[in-house]
């Protein structure tokens, strides 16, 4: 049985990637990151998701020591407000943590090499591209290339970085996930990290919209 | 004045990269990593080096939480002996930490984006290639490519990953460093991390040889 490492944030997209990796017949290894994000409760959701999905190993890696180095983002710097409104808006650039995905994926790749995984699944999707340069298809391609160069002789020869949603919208992720049986009530999106989803921040707006447009029941409790 | 981030291990190569970055007219930012290596004292050397070289900011980033994920290496796993003998030998593969350089460089790149650096200097050299796939020229090239893709719109347009020694030997690094005034007595190589350099492990053998062949006085106290 092939092994897959899944980068699991606890949000909708990576939860769906987890179930996609499972549907693809892999033994599952999940990895999550505490990078000092305000919405740390997504990690509790990642933990539950991993259990429910039958993940063999799940690690939560503490990367908070890098926070001070990349503190210009509202996601890690408490002095900057999390912007509200639609995700595509210019002010959402405040949610960029420099090189965040590359840092997390580099650690996940080390883990993948160590467990002799055949693939690494990440949940980036088409809607991320406008804001986050490290969610674009060209980034995923470059990552696949460098993963094999950096680990030649150690990584499985047929290893692949898989971003199954890189060309599809969050709406289509919700549709697909609904077919795959993803327990979306065990996912967390809101950047504010309160008791309930705020319903107003960029990622909440995106979440609500995806369920609505997909015609999938939204199990989320919004604070409205 | 351009800013350069230098990845500083506390060894000869990165110390020379630091002085090269200085000679190139940069304002210096240094970053070092505690990744659970046994030879942690190299970090004390990195700190002294940064002070003496007039570095503006020096960070030591704690990455020990990733150690358990990448514990197959004798550098981080205390149950595996550090191999002795010449560096090029097959058993030196035991010193490979999967994806280590990519992990450290990804964090360093995030830092470089944050301080608006024009370059990142790394000390990899030609002698590393045989053992460490993530020290080869093709890795450095791939890193330069992905750094710009992952951070487009945030990273300086003329940003460059610089590995000035990627095609030269450690002997030539010692020659160059001697001209640049690198205080090699403030560098640490030995993987065993005792009071003095052991003189026997791969990196000690390489260090001694480099000074000898370069005709540069070796300021190291070996435990012989």
pLDDT band at B150 (very low <50, low <70, confident <90, very high): very high
The predicted pLDDT at position A74 comes to 46
The predicted pLDDT at position B71 comes to 63
Nearest chain B Cα distance for residue A221, angstroms: 34
Determine, for residues A145 and B143 on separate chains, whether the beta-carbon distance falls below 8 Å.
Answer: no
Average pLDDT of A42-60?
A: 96
Instruction: Choose the closest CB to B113 out of A99, A105, A111.
Output: A99
CB B63 within 8 A of CB A110: no
* Alpha-helical regions (H) of A24-123: 42-53, 100-114
Determine, for residues A98 and B154 on separate chains, whether the beta-carbon distance falls below 8 Å.
Answer: yes
The predicted pLDDT at position A210 comes to 96
Average pLDDT of A52-58?
A: 97
Q: HEC states along B106-154?
A: HHHHHHHHHCCCCEEECCCCHHHCCCCHHHCHHHHHHHHHHHHHHCCCC
Determine, for residues B134 and A149 on separate chains, whether the beta-carbon distance falls below 8 Å.
Answer: yes
Asked if the model's pLDDT at residue A94 lies above 80, the reply is no
Instruction: Choose the closest CB to B61 out of A59, A66, A150.
Output: A66
Asked if the model's pLDDT at residue B81 lies above 60, the reply is no
Nearest chain B Cα distance for residue A32, angstroms: 12
Number of CB atoms found within 10 A of residue A33's CB: 26
Instruction: Choose the closest CB to B152 out of A68, A133, A154.
Output: A133
Instruction: Choose the closest CB to B98 out of A97, A113, A134.
Output: A113
Determine, for residues B139 and A149 on separate chains, whether the beta-carbon distance falls below 8 Å.
Answer: yes
b/e burial code for range A85-123 (CB count within 10 A of at least 16 → b): eebeeeebebbbbbbbbbbbbbbbbbbbbbeebbbbbbb
The predicted pLDDT at position A84 comes to 59
- What percent of chain A lies above the pLDDT cut of 90? 69
Chain A hits for B143, Cβ within 8 Å: 146
Asked if B130 reaches chain A (Cβ–Cβ under 8 Å), the answer is no
Which are the contacts of A179, defined by CB distance < 8 A and separation ≥ 6? none
Asked if the model's pLDDT at residue B9 lies above 90, the reply is yes
Residue labelled with tokens 């289509």: A172
The predicted pLDDT at position B66 comes to 79
A76 CA to centre of own chain: 16
pLDDT band at A75 (very low <50, low <70, confident <90, very high): very low
| Beta-bridge partners for B160 | B119
Which position has the higher pLDDT, B119 or A201?
Answer: B119
Backbone Cα Rg of chain A: 16
Determine, for residues B113 and A101 on separate chains, whether the beta-carbon distance falls below 8 Å.
Answer: no
Chain A hits for B145, Cβ within 8 Å: 142, 146
Instruction: Choose the closest CB to A113 out of B99, B107, B109.
Output: B99
Chain A hits for B102, Cβ within 8 Å: 106, 109-110, 146-147, 150
Asked if A133 reaches chain B (Cβ–Cβ under 8 Å), the answer is yes
Six token digits for residue A23: 């549907």
Instruction: Give the least confident one: A36-45, B91-100, B156-165.
Output: B91-100
Average pLDDT of A170-196?
A: 94
Q: What is the overall mean pLDDT for chain A?
A: 88
Q: Structure pTM?
A: 0.89
Determine, for residues B114 and A70 on separate chains, whether the beta-carbon distance falls below 8 Å.
Answer: yes
Average pLDDT of A47-65?
A: 93
Asked if the model's pLDDT at residue B75 lies above 50, the reply is no
Asked if A139 reaches chain B (Cβ–Cβ under 8 Å), the answer is yes
Strands (E) in chain A, as ranges, are 3-7, 27-34, 57-62, 119-121, 160-162
- What percent of chain B lies above the pLDDT cut of 90? 69
Pick from A35, A152, A112, A28: which is nearest to B69 by CA? A112
Chain B hits for A35, Cβ within 8 Å: none
Asked if B116 reaches chain A (Cβ–Cβ under 8 Å), the answer is no
Asked if the model's pLDDT at residue A67 lies above 80, the reply is no
Residue labelled with tokens 């505490």: A34
pLDDT band at B86 (very low <50, low <70, confident <90, very high): low
The predicted pLDDT at position A48 comes to 97
- For domain B3-214, give the fold: Rossmann fold (3.40.50)
Asked if A72 reaches chain B (Cβ–Cβ under 8 Å), the answer is yes
Average pLDDT of B78-89?
A: 51
ipTM of the complex, rounded to two decimals? 0.88
- CA atoms of A49 and A47, how far apart (whole Å): 5
């Amino acid at each position: 049985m092939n092994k897959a490492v899944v980068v699991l944030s606890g949000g909708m997209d990576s939860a769906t990637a987890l179930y996609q990796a499972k549907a693809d017949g892999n033994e599952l290894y999940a990895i999550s990151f505490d990078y000092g994000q305000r919405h740390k409760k997504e990690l509790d959701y990642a933990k539950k998701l991993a259990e429910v999905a039958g993940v063999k190993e799940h690690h939560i890696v503490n990367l908070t020591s890098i926070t001070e180095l990349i503190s210009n983002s509202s996601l890690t710097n408490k002095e900057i407000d999390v912007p509200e409104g639609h995700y595509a808006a210019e002010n959402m650039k405040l949610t960029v943590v420099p090189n965040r995905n590359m840092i997390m994926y580099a650690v996940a790749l080390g883990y993948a090499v160590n467990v002799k995984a055949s693939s690494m699944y990440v949940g980036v999707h088409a809607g991320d591209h406008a804001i986050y340069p490290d969610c674009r298809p060209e980034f995923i391609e470059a990552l696949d290339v460098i993963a094999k160069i950096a680990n030649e002789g150690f990584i499985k020869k047929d290893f692949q970085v898989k971003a199954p949603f890189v060309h599809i919208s969050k709406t289509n992720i919700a549709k697909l996930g609904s077919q795959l049986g993803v327990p979306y009530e065990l996912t967390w999106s809101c950047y504010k990290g309160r008791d309930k989803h705020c319903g107003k921040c960029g990622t909440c707006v995106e979440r609500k919209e995806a369920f609505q447009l997909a015609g999938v029941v939204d199990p989320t409790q919004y604070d409205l």
